[in-house]
């Protein structure tokens, strides 16, 4: 009941524009304060140079808990560098034209460096290129905007999403050796994250000839929006009598629709996803009555934004540029293995990510 109430509270907060609350909260978080004090004491990281700069950050869509924590992580990372005198943020709210206008607005405000989460991919490349040509250090990350480093932006800070797909695929083979039906959900149409994850999944499973991918291909579109995910998954459950495993790159968003399986007298199937406290605790609460419900997660990578910030700040302040521009993908939980047990902290809000550098307690403060 407590977790159900928290889920309802999260939906309400997201609808009320919780991104603004998160930014206000993270400015006073323990991590950010500690980092700022350390920087002031002369312990600034190597990627922090001496030149003063204002850092901007734009999201194509900022309206879910993952984005709240990821944005807070970026701000906390920037706070480690005393040369960063300001942090500006804009949420595109899932509107590509607004996302483009937000990038243009950052340039007009005079930011010196800009980190961009280009949810709409190549649609925002002209705006990214314009910022770069205007002399703003421009660092897109996570979703590939197309273009080339050195021509359209300074560097693309990526991650190998195919690795997540391969990890999911290997686990699916282990728990369903005889094959099964696979439903895969990702974000906006055509997003590079979902495409690469799908490639990783197919590279492992297709060769066996035992697995059938159901639903829209290469993935069901959810825009990484919890409300939209609930609609899409509920529809998929009603349309498909046999779903053996659900794969999602935003695992916590599945929780709202999973009880539909139980309501229709079916076991919740195996889930391969990204981590989140709400999903892990849901598994703890429902595993006993759902014999097919196994859980496997990869790190949700909230700290990908930290590496993007390091690259942007280093270039804008004259610091040491990080050696790598690729953020690693790692396995976090596996309910079938003692080595990586499922981690549920029922005393914390549902919408925290225990694989993140920021503690669950610090994340919890973002929603206060």
Mean pLDDT of 341-368: 93
Mean pLDDT of 216-222: 97
Strand partners, 87: 55
| Number of structural domains in the chain | 2
Same domain? For 220 and 309 the reply is: no
Task: Determine which of 33-37, 118-122, 188-192, 318-322 has the lowest per-residue pLDDT on average.
Answer: 33-37
Domain that holds residue 294: 161-298
Mean pLDDT of 283-296: 98
Q: What CA–CA distance (Å, rounded) separates 184 from 177?
A: 18
pLDDT for residue 41 is more than 50? no
In this prediction, residue 20 carries a pLDDT of 32
In this prediction, residue 13 carries a pLDDT of 35
Distances (CA, A) of 134 to 15, 28, 156, 261: 35, 32, 18, 53
Mean pLDDT of 253-272: 96
Same domain? For 65 and 145 the reply is: yes
In this prediction, residue 247 carries a pLDDT of 98
> Is the residue at 342 inside a domain?
no
Same domain? For 41 and 74 the reply is: yes
| Last-in-domain residue among 298, 313, 338 | 298
What six digits make up the tokens of 257?
């629709």
> What CATH number does residue 125 fall under?
3.40.50.2300
pLDDT for residue 2 is more than 50? no
Same domain? For 129 and 211 the reply is: no
pLDDT in tens, 4-39: 334 444 333 333 333 332 333 333 333 333 333 444
Sign, Cα dihedral of 158, 136, 112, 26? negative
Same domain? For 264 and 306 the reply is: no
Same domain? For 146 and 192 the reply is: no
Same domain? For 307 and 289 the reply is: no
Same domain? For 111 and 203 the reply is: no
> Is the residue at 118 inside a domain?
yes
Task: Determine which of 35-44, 66-75, 312-321 has the lowest per-residue pLDDT on average.
Answer: 35-44
Classify strands 84-91 and 326-327 as parallel, antiparallel or unpaired.
unpaired
Confidence of residue 42 (pLDDT cuts 50, 70, 90): low
- What value does the mean pLDDT of the chain take? 89
Confidence of residue 260 (pLDDT cuts 50, 70, 90): very high
Task: Determine which of 38-42, 50-54, 229-233 has the lowest per-residue pLDDT on average.
Answer: 38-42
Same domain? For 154 and 165 the reply is: no
pLDDT in tens, 300-309: 999 999 999 9
Same domain? For 165 and 176 the reply is: yes
> Is the residue at 337 inside a domain?
no
- Rounded to 5°, the CA angle 354-358-364 comes to 75
Mean pLDDT of 52-72: 92
- Specify the residue for token string 């790692």: 330
Same domain? For 187 and 237 the reply is: yes
| Last-in-domain residue among 255, 283, 298 | 298
In this prediction, residue 366 carries a pLDDT of 85
Same domain? For 257 and 198 the reply is: yes
Length of the chain: 368
pLDDT for residue 233 is more than 80? yes
pTM flag (> 0.85): no
In this prediction, residue 356 carries a pLDDT of 96
């Amino acid at each position: 009941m407590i977790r159900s109430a928290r889920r309802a509270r999260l939906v309400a907060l997201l609808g009320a524009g919780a991104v603004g609350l998160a930014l206000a909260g993270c400015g006073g978080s323990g991590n950010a304060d500690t980092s700022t004090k350390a920087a002031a004491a002369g312990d600034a990281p190597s990627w922090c140079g001496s030149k003063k700069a204002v850092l901007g950050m734009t999201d194509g869509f900022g309206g879910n808990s993952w984005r709240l924590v990821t944005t807070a992580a970026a701000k906390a990372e920037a706070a480690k560098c005393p040369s960063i005198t300001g942090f500006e943020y804009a949420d595109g709210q899932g509107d590509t034209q607004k996302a483009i206008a937000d990038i243009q607005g950052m340039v007009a405000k005079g930011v010196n460096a800009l980190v961009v989460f280009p949810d709409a991919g190549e649609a925002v490349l002209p705006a990214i290129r314009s910022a770069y040509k205007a002399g703003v250090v421009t660092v897109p990350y996570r979703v590939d905007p197309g273009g080339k480093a050195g021509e359209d932006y300074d560097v693309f800070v990526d991650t190998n999403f195919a690795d997540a797909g391969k990890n999911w695929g290997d686990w699916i083979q282990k728990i369903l050796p005889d094959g099964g039906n696979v439903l895969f959900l990702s974000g906006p149409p055509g997003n590079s994250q979902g495409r690469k994850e799908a490639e990783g999944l197919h590279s492992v499973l297709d060769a066996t000839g035992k697995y059938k991918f159901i639903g829209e291909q290469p993935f069901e579109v959810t825009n990484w929006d919890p409300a939209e995910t609930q609609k899409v998954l509920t529809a998929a459950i009603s349309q498909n009598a046999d779903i053996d495993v659900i794969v999602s790159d935003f695992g916590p968003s599945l929780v709202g629709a999973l009880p539909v399986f139980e309501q229709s007298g079916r076991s919740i199937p195996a889930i391969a996803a990204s981590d989140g406290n709400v999903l892990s605790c849901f598994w703890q609460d429902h595993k006993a009555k759902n014999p097919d419900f196994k859980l496997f997660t990869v790190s949700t990578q909230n700290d990908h934004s930290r590496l993007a910030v390091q690259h942007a700040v280093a270039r804008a302040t004259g610091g040491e540029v990080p050696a790598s521009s690729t953020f690693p993908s790692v396995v976090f939980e596996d309910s079938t293995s003692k080595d990586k047990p499922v981690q549920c902290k029922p005393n914390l809000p549902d919408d925290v990510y225990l694989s993140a550098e920021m503690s669950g307690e610090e994340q919890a403060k973002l929603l206060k």
